[in-house]
Amino acid sequence: MAKRVVLAYSGGLDTSVAVRWLTDELGVEVIALGVNVGQDGGEIDADALIARAKAAGAVEAIVVDARDEFARDFCMPAMRANALYEGRYPLVSALSRPVIVKHLVAAAREHGADAVAHGCTGKGNDQVRFEVSTRALAPDLDVIAPVRTWGMTREDSIRYAEARGIPITATKEKLYSIDDNLWGRAIECGEMEDPWAVPPPGVWSLTAPSTTEPRDLVIGFDAGVPVSLDGATLPLVSLINELQSAVGSYGWGRLDMVENRRVGIKSRETYECPASLALILAHGDLESITLERDLAREKSRLEPRYAELVYDGLWFSPLKQALDAFIDDSQQHVTGEVRLHLEAGSCQVTGRRSDASLYDYGLATYDAEDSFRHEDSAGFVRLWGLSVETWAARQARLGG
């Protein structure tokens, strides 16, 4: 039985109640760990979070700023893989869990804890990501999931908190379940549990339209990583945040989809991901001129698999690691610029250029500068179709 537990602490109702529940019901000491992955634009009041955790009964509370690490080591590999789960979702929540687990494990080591805990329910993907990642990094640590075991409804939890003086801001009718970070925002539940229901306008915050004047925005990439906006070099986190507000202000970057959770449930999800979707759009476009054809095709076959692994909690796994090596190697020439055109509700690529471009004007043009060897084509095409020609002559005629 665990004695000291590091709990992934958000400051919300469930994790605040979990602090006390773990302490009282399991008799453990709780160390609350808040990880800043850019939620609420990264504006986390660390002192307030620590005070809340201690008021709930934590023996220790820590807040770490993991924004740079999250952007560099988690969002970027996923972006370089153009990772979109089921072809659409840029893995916002799925990417943050492994970085949180890294810090949970580090805190457990530092504070001599023998278990980690999370506030996920038994129905979602996030429990899978927390637990599988912990098993991969620290198989000796126990994982405790109080929300999955305590059997309290939301009202029960509110009553539990009120009876014990645990500070909460939750009200009885909480409508949505929201998870956000640098890479975007996920909004579920409430009336959107009916997949036919139109998401109420109030759910959108990163993509509330506020700009109508069209504009162009140029993203510069170096070896597959965005480094500049309109020629100005920016640190990664600032670049993502700036892109978030620039693109989001045109009301672009929303997703409304029914996705397949790892646990077998279909779930209606809405997302707003202006920065991550714009980056994947631009990055994929730059690859169209910088990746050789066969490399590009093979990479595009692996991308959906990469997204699945991340979604399914296998960030720390041998296949994901091997795919990272492949993707890393593929990115050495993905350096250049992509122009995005923004206008109300739309974000489109209108140009791309690179010193390493494989686009050869002389080969492509129909003008006088044409350098293509036209005489090579006749023999090539003849041989390309030779087996079909033979089949047509011998078998197609026989029918069947």
Site residues for ligand ARG per CB under 6 A? 93-94, 125-126, 177, 179, 186, 188, 269
In this complex, which beta carbon is closest to ligand ARG, that of residue 177 or of residue 288? Answer: 177
Catalytic residue check, 126: yes
Tell me the closest approach of the beta carbon of residue 110 to ligand ARG, in angstroms.
27
Residue 78's alpha-carbon distances to 177, 209, 281, 324, in angstroms, are 24, 27, 13, 9
In this complex, which beta carbon is closest to ligand ARG, that of residue 188 or of residue 324? Answer: 188
Catalytic one of 14, 179, 180, 312: 14
Tell me the closest approach of the beta carbon of residue 224 to ligand ARG, in angstroms.
23
Backbone angles phi, psi at 20, to 5 degrees: -75, -40
Backbone angles phi, psi at 136, to 5 degrees: -70, -40
Tell me the closest approach of the beta carbon of residue 348 to ligand ARG, in angstroms.
26
* Strand duo 115-117 + 142-144: pairing: parallel
Catalytic one of 97, 185, 254, 262: 97
Catalytic one of 96, 126, 262, 330: 126
Catalytic residue check, 154: no
In this complex, which beta carbon is closest to ligand ARG, that of residue 186 or of residue 286? Answer: 186
Catalytic one of 4, 135, 148, 177: 177
In this complex, which beta carbon is closest to ligand ARG, that of residue 124 or of residue 220? Answer: 124
In this complex, which beta carbon is closest to ligand ARG, that of residue 6 or of residue 255? Answer: 255
Tell me the closest approach of the beta carbon of residue 235 to ligand ARG, in angstroms.
26
Backbone angles phi, psi at 80, to 5 degrees: -65, -25
The three-point CA angle 269-338-69 to 5° equals: 60
In this complex, which beta carbon is closest to ligand ARG, that of residue 259 or of residue 324? Answer: 259
Residue type, 277: L
Tell me the closest approach of the beta carbon of residue 95 to ligand ARG, in angstroms.
9
Residue 265's alpha-carbon distances to 122, 129, 259, in angstroms, are 11, 16, 8
Tokens read off for 382: 């003849």
The total number of residues written for the chain in this structure = 400
Tell me the closest approach of the beta carbon of residue 255 to ligand ARG, in angstroms.
11
Are 328 and 302 a contacting pair, CB within 8 Å? no
Residues 6+ apart with CB under 8 A from 110: none
Q: Crossing angle, helix 386-394 and helix 375-384, to 10 degrees?
A: 50
Q: List active site positions.
A: 14, 97, 126, 177
